[in-house]
Structure 1
Amino acid sequence: MMGVRAQQKEKTRRSLVEAAFSQLSAERSFASRSLREVAREAGIEPTSFYRHFRDVDELGLTMVDDSGLMLRQLMRQARQRIAKGGSVIRSSVSTFMEFIGNNPNAFRLLLRERSGTSAAFRAAVAREIQHFIAELADYLELENHMPRAFTEAQAEAMVTIVFSAGAEALDIGAEQRRQLEERLVLQLRMIAKGAYYWYRREQEKIAHHSE
C-alpha cells in the first residue's frame, strides 16, 4: 500500500499526463506544446515537472503506453459484449467507436506518432499496435481454430482498416460516423469471410495432395 507522499506523487504524475492529453487537438500535436504549458494545466510549477519525468519525451512515451493500454482494455470490453450474445464484429466496431468518442486525443497521439519524426515514439506506437494485433490474433485462433499465420494476417488486415476508419471518425459528425461504422462492419466481415475461405481452400489442397 502506497504512503501518502507516494500517493500524492502518483496523483501529480497522472495530472501531468492528463494535462498533456487535454492539450492535444486536431490542430495541436504533442510536439507543439511546451513543458510550461503542461505544468500550468496540471497546476504545478515547471521545475516540479522533473520530479515525475526525466523530460518531455518520457512524458510522451508514457502517454503512448497509456493509449495502448486503453486499446487493450477496449478489446476486453468487446469480448465481454460478445460473451453476452453480441455480434463479434459489430460489437468490436461499436466498442472501438466509443473509444474514439471518449478518448479522441489518445487515438490522435497514436496516429501522429506512428509516423512522427521521433524513432523512439515510432517504435513505442508500433509496439502498442503489435500488442493489439497479437491479442486479436489470439482471439481469432481460439475461436476459428486456424493456424497462427492465418490469424495474424487476418488480425493485421483488420487493425489496419480499423485505424484508418478511426482517423476518419475523429473529424466527422454523428450521422457520418454511423455510416462509417456500417462500412467498417462490412469491410471487416469481408476480411473474415475471405480468411475463412482462403484457409478452407488451402486445407482442401493439402487433402488433395495427400490422397
Structure 2
Amino acid sequence: MHERLEQKQRTRRNLIEAALKLSGEQGFSSISLREVAKVAGITPAGFYRHFHDMEELGLALIDEVGLSLRHLLREARRNIDKEGSAVRSSVETFIEYITENANLFRLLQGERQGSSLAFRKALFAEINRFIEEVTEDLDRGSKLLDQPLMDVGLAAEAIVAVAFTVGAEAIDLPKHRRQELIERLIKEVKMILRGARIQERPKKKVSKKSSRRKSQR
C-alpha cells in the first residue's frame, strides 16, 4: 500500500516535470495531454488517475510557481542576514534562482497572457502574493533604516516588474555575461528605491531684514 502511494506520487511528479519541460519549449497552452503523458512515460489513460484535465495540471504548475517564489524570498532573506547588503544579495539570489529554474520562470512569464482564465487568475494571484511579501520586506527595511517610502506597494510592484523583465533576459544569457545583468538590475532597483523615498523639504531660511520687519510690526 505504501509503495503504491509512493509510485503514484512519483508519477504525478513526473507529469508535472514533463509539463514544465514542454511548456518551457512551446508554452503550456500549446501542449497536449498526449505529449505530457508520453514524456512522463505513461499512457494517456494513466494521466486521468492524477489529473482531471490539462487545466488541473496547469493549476498544479501554478502551485509550483508559488512555492518557487516563496522559496526565492526565503533564500534572499537568509542571504541578507549573512551579508547585510539587501539589494545586492536579493538580486544575486533572484538571478541565480531563475536560471536554475528556467522552465518554471518561462511558464510564469509566458502564461500571463494564456488562453485559460482560471490559469491566468491563479498565476496573477501568486504574483500578487509575491508583491505583497516584497512590500512587507521593503516596509520593514525602510523603518529599520529610518528611510520612509512614499508608496511601499507601488515600489514593490515596480521592483518585481523590472526584476521579471531582466530575469527573462538572464535565462538564455551565457553564464559569463550574467554579472553585468546583475549589476544593471541592482542599479535599477536602487533607482526605484531612491525615487520612492520621502525627501524632507529644506526649511526656508528667514533673512535678517524680513525678521527685523516682522519685529517692527
Equivalent residue, structure 2, for 1:16: 15
Equivalent residue, structure 2, for 1:158: 159
C-alpha contact (below 8 Å) 1:78/1:95 kept by paired residues: yes
Task: State the TM-score, normalized to the length of structure 2.
Answer: 0.84
The answer for unaligned runs of 5 or more in structure 2 is 203-217
Equivalent residue, structure 2, for 1:209: none
CA distance in 2, matches of 1:50, 1:147: 52
CA distance in 2, matches of 1:113, 1:31: 8
Equivalent residue, structure 2, for 1:76: 74
**% identical aligned pairs:** 48
> Once the two structures are superposed, what CA deviation does each residue of 1:77-112 show, in whole Å capped at 9, x if it has no partner?
010000012411111111111112111110000111
Per-residue deviation, 1:17: 0.2
Task: State the TM-score, normalized to the length of structure 1.
Answer: 0.86
Q: Where do 1:37-52 residues align within 5 Å?
A: 37-52=35-50
Per-residue deviation, 1:127: 0.6
The answer for unaligned runs of 5 or more in structure 1 is 206-211
What is the total number of aligned residue pairs between the two structures? 199
Per-residue deviation, 1:148: 8.9
Equivalent residue, structure 1, for 2:113: 115
CA distance in 2, matches of 1:33, 1:186: 38
CA distance in 2, matches of 1:51, 1:147: 53
CA distance in 1, matches of 2:163, 2:114: 20
Q: Between Structure 1 and Structure 2, whose CA radius of gyration is higher?
A: 2
* RMSD value, Cα: 2.1
CA distance in 2, matches of 1:179, 1:85: 20
> Once the two structures are superposed, what CA deviation does each residue of 1:130-184 show, in whole Å capped at 9, x if it has no partner?
0110111111111212779722111111001001101121222223322111110
Equivalent residue, structure 1, for 2:181: 180
Which amino acid letter does the alignment assign opposite residue 166 of structure 2? A
Equivalent residue, structure 2, for 1:53: 51
Which amino acid letter does the alignment assign opposite residue 180 of structure 1? L
CA distance in 1, matches of 2:152, 2:98: 25
CA distance in 2, matches of 1:147, 1:130: 22
CA distance in 1, matches of 2:59, 2:106: 14
Equivalent residue, structure 2, for 1:35: 33
